[in-house]
Amino acid sequence: MSSLFLLIGVIWFTLLAISAFLVIFIAPIDIVIFNNRTDLYITSIVQATIAILIVLMLIAFLNYLKKLYIQKKLHIE
């Protein structure tokens, strides 16, 4: 039971880390990379693509966590 609490805590912390990354690096991308000179929708597409990639990475990470947890607890692949 305590390991499930830990797992939920790790997932929460990962969500917070991703949120911080998106706010600090991806949200101001139009100013940092495009110097505020690109069309709003082009910036949006770039931000959306990066955000989707990050979500896919999150799913892959969760899958890895799940495999580790299940191998430890249920002893199956």
Partner 1 sequence: MIFSDINSLIMVLIYGVFASAISFLTVYFAMPKAIAFLLEKGMIVQDYHKSERPKVPRPAGPILIIGVTLSLMVIYCLTFNEKILAILFTTVIAFIIGFIDDKKVMPGWFKPVALLIAALPILLLGAYDTNLNLIFGNAFIPLLYIPVILIAIPVIGNTINSIDVLNGVASGFILIACIPLIISVYIFGNVEVFLASLSLFFVTLAFYKFHKFPSKIFPGDSGTLLLGAMYGAIAITGKSELIAIIALLPAIFNSFLFLSSVKRVVEHREITARPTSLTDDFKLSASTDKKAPITLLRLLLVDGPLSEHELVNRIFKLAIFSSILALISIVIQYYFVLGGKI
- Residue ranges in contact with partner 1 by CB under 8 A: 1, 4-5, 7-9, 11-12, 15-16, 19-20, 22-24, 26-27, 40-41, 44-45, 47-48, 51-52, 62-63, 66, 69-70, 73-74, 76
Name the minimum Å distance from CB 62 to partner 1: 6
Structure tokens at 10: 């790790």
Name the minimum Å distance from CB 47 to partner 1: 6
Q: What does 5-19 look like in DSSP terms, one character per residue? A: HHHHHHHHHHHHHHH
- Contact by Cβ (8 Å): 9, 75: no
